[in-house]
Amino acid sequence: MNPLLATLGDPVWQIGGGIILLAALVLILALRSPDVHLAPQHQWFLTRLILLLCLSCFLVLSAGVLFFHGANAASTAAPLVTQPSSATASPHGGLSPTPLPSPSPTPFPALVPSPAQVLTTFYDAINQQDLNTAWEQYAKALQQKRATPPPFQVRITIVHCQLEQVSDTSATGYLFLKTVGPNGYTDDVERLFQFTLSVEVNAWKIAQTAPCLADGCLDDTGSLVP
């Protein structure tokens, strides 16, 4: 995942940046209040000093969050493993016995529609408010939630969707979702969610959803609904 996009969606960066901006505004307004008797040149100097300090704090915060996500992305890269040759020379001449072949990995199911096509169909259905099609992309066990949705106090409803990272050869994809949270709360912010698919009756279906935070993607399938 792109560390920059992960940083922009990080609640720590969003809340911290908001606090720094609010603090700058409050300090500048207090400095220019009629109750504060300062010469114009002093007000000008202190205003610039406050802006400089707040900007420095914001840059330090952004750099720290970006470095954190960059380190996480680097740690998840798989190391390259070289395979030994099928036969090696023996120190006494000739070839050593051919090692036993390792078990072949299970091939990735090549089904139509692919995982990327399923998530694209889900994305289009959400944005077109076609709830029937959106629910059809879920596994049968999750489709039962449509008849008995989660309580209003914990329900998270998807209202808008944007593709981030999907693949025809991976059962995991990432989408940005705009949601209405528990008790109808909304802040009009798109957040990153991880979608995990599984094969059900020779078809890819959405089996798990998880919001992605600074410490990873945590399963929240029971609360998130179209």
DSSP 8-state secondary structure symbol assigned to residue 24: H
Specify if 176 maps to a domain.
Answer: yes
Same-domain status, 20 and 120: no
How many structural domains compose the chain? 2
By the 8 A CB rule, do 156 and 181 touch? yes
Q: Averaged over 23-39, what is the pLDDT?
A: 75
Domain end position, chosen among 75, 107, 123 = 75
Q: Averaged over 4-26, what is the pLDDT?
A: 74
CATH code, domain with 150:
3.10.450
Specify if 199 maps to a domain.
Answer: yes
Specify if 108 maps to a domain.
Answer: no
pLDDT range class, residue 86, cuts 50, 70, 90 = very low
Specify if 98 maps to a domain.
Answer: no
Specify if 86 maps to a domain.
Answer: no
Instruction: Identify the domain containing residue 147 by its residue range.
Output: 115-225
| pLDDT tens-digit readout, 175-215 | 999 999 888 888 888 999 999 999 998 999 999 999 998 88
Q: What pLDDT does 134 receive? A: 92
Specify if 9 maps to a domain.
Answer: yes
By the 8 A CB rule, do 28 and 47 touch? yes
Residue 105 reports pLDDT greater than 80: no
> Whose CA is closest to 112, among 190, 48, 199?
199
Distance separating alpha carbons of residues 97 and 80, to the nearest angstrom: 26
Which of 57-61, 120-124, 137-141, 186-190 is the least confident region? 57-61
The number of helix segments (H) and strand segments (E) in the chain equals 6, 6
Q: What pLDDT does 205 receive? A: 93
By the 8 A CB rule, do 199 and 111 touch? yes
Specify if 185 maps to a domain.
Answer: yes
